[in-house]
Amino acid sequence: MKPIVQLVNEWASFEEVSTDHSVEAFCRHYLKKQKPKPKTPGPEGERLRNSALLLKAMGRIMSAYSLYFRSAVNYAGMPPAEGFYYLNGLINLGEVKKSDLINYMFAETTTGMEAINKLVREKKIKERTSPDDKRAKLIQITEKGKKTLEEYYKLSGKVVTMVFKGINDNSIIDCYETLKYCEQRNSNRVGELKNKPFDKMYEYIMADEA
């Protein structure tokens, strides 16, 4: 088969499975098909080992990012990097209860409250009594917080570039698409599980077929 005919056939197949018919999307789709097919799943021990290696790589990448980012924040004379994570979480969530932000951050209640209250004192977060529950406080980012966050973003952008230097854009996209479900699945369960004993966490997660 001539290469041009093969290419046309590939494009026809691509249009049947994708809603994005751009050339860039087709190229990613075609190149992904050329990759070796994944090996047949091995024994449970091998799966655990591979999973542990993946977690190790992810953890060390995040540790490197944290090291670079703390250094960048310190060099710029900005407040500690912890504030960035809470402000970034809040701007994604909008106005929410303090407990919602704490759960989003996977933080312990005491640690999360301390971080939030510090940002309130710095006027980067404002709070008000919830109209639906007088015992709860709703929080949202202030203009001062947004300006601070913009400065953090500039530093974070440099650090992200450092971390992924030499990594092809398509590889980054593929990794994200592969791990997106895992991230969402675990994130959605943290709030209801974080105060349960481990055996209950394990039982719940392993029984969940979602």
Judged against a pLDDT cut of 70, whether residue 41 lies above it is answered with: no
- Domain containing 74 equals 49-165
**Cα pseudo-dihedral 13, 14, 15, 18, rounded to 10:** 130
Higher pLDDT, 38 or 19: 19
The answer as to whether 117 is a domain residue is yes
pLDDT at 31: 67
The answer as to whether 56 is a domain residue is yes
Query: Do β-strands 125-129 and 96-97 pair in parallel, antiparallel, or remain unpaired?
Result: unpaired
- C-alpha to C-alpha distance for 145 and 151, rounded to whole angstroms: 10
The answer as to whether 181 is a domain residue is no
Question: Given phi > 0 = left and psi -120 to 50 = alpha, else beta, which region is 49?
Answer: alpha
Cross-strand bridge partners of residue 87: none
The answer as to whether 187 is a domain residue is no
Region 69-83 average pLDDT:
93
Higher pLDDT, 115 or 16: 115
User: Quick one: pLDDT band at residue 126, thresholds 50, 70, 90?
Assistant: very high
**CA 195 remoteness from chain centre:** 22
CATH number at residue 129: 1.10.10.10
Q: Residues with Cβ < 8 Å from 20, sequence gap 6 or more?
A: none
Cross-strand bridge partners of residue 138: 97, 128
Q: What is the pLDDT of residues 89-107, one digit of tens each?
A: 999 999 999 999 999 999 9
